[in-house]
Amino acid sequence: MVIHEKLSTPTIDRPKVFHMESRTTWMTPIFKYLQDGKTLEDPREAQKVVKQVAKYTLIGQHLYRRGFSFPLLKCLEDKESAYVIREVHEGVCGTHIGGRALASKIARVGYY
């Protein structure tokens, strides 16, 4: 005789696994330096990063660039920047403006 019991909860704990893409972007060295104090192995590239870091700040997990006219500009990755450009360019107003005007409009919104 075989007895089966239906359990409502699992008997073992399953580890939670999150898949994260680890892509290297232009922001990666700056982010790592601000977060951990680590620079690149190449001394020339490390020196460039140290000079660039003065213009950036880290708030939570987001990188911001200190602007001259604007207090903080949020740095965007490729997918995010494509979305913002598309929304500003084709958005509700739908103006088809040139590159320089589009860039300044995006900066006014608070993105870099």
How large a percentage of the chain has pLDDT more than 70?
Answer: 83
Is 70 a member of any domain?
yes
What's the average model confidence in pLDDT over 66-94? 77
**Residue 10 included in any domain:** no
pLDDT of residue 19: 57
Please indicate, yes or no, whether the overall pTM of this predicted structure exceeds 0.75: no
Are residue 70 and residue 28 in the same domain, yes or no?
yes
Instruction: Evaluate whether 85 touches 102 at the Cβ level (below 8 Å).
Output: yes
Shared domain for 48 and 71, answered yes or no, is yes
How far apart, in whole angstroms, are the C-alpha atoms of residue 6 and residue 14?
18
Tell me, what's the pLDDT at 96?
66
Same domain, 33 and 63: yes
Q: Which domain holds residue 86?
A: 76-112
**CA–CA dist 106, 94 (Å, integer):** 14
Same domain, 86 and 45: no
Same domain membership, residue 102 and residue 63: no
